[in-house]
Amino acid sequence: MNAFFLPLLGGMIIGVSTLILLLVNGKVAGISTIFWNFCTSKSMESTLFIIGLPLGALIAYSILGVSQPTLPGNTSLILLSGFLVGFGVNRGSGCTSGHGVCGIGRFSIRSIVATLCFMASGIVTVALFGVNP
């Protein structure tokens, strides 16, 4: 499949999915909140969502032939990155999916500011440390 078409299709599916969740359940599809609900309440809705994330990736990999991402070999770096992301989610009252996909779509000023901050942080991080191929 065309390298331009897959990201466009994926973005459209994410956008439609978050809109359906908002319209049907009145909930924002912020992954950090859904994961927190999964860990604390074990709700069926959160459980199904968490199961669907890797399942969707597996389907895309097997049916569409999309390549799997590779993780850097440095376990300490992965753990530190996870901690920093968790800290940022806590301080920013949400994650990239909640703010960037859902919040901006609802024209939330707080989400627009949060998205600008984490995008700037990502750009600075890549400029300082480069990209790991």
Same domain, 62 and 11: yes
Same domain, 11 and 33: yes
Burial zone of 50 (CB within 10 Å; 0-12 exposed, 13-18 middle, 19+ buried): middle
Same domain, 108 and 127: yes
Under the banding of pLDDT at 50, 70 and 90, the label for residue 120 is very high
> What domain range is 75 assigned to?
71-133
Same domain, 82 and 133: yes
Q: Is 28 helix (H, G, I), strand (E, B) or coil?
A: coil
Same domain, 24 and 76: no
Alpha helices (runs of H) in 1-133, residue ranges in sequence order:
5-25, 31-41, 44-64, 75-91, 96, 104-105, 109-129
Name the domain count of the chain: 2
Same domain, 64 and 16: yes
For residue range 33-80, list pLDDT tens digits in order. 778 778 888 778 888 888 888 888 888 778 877 676 676 677 787 788
Same domain, 81 and 118: yes
Average pLDDT, the chain: 80
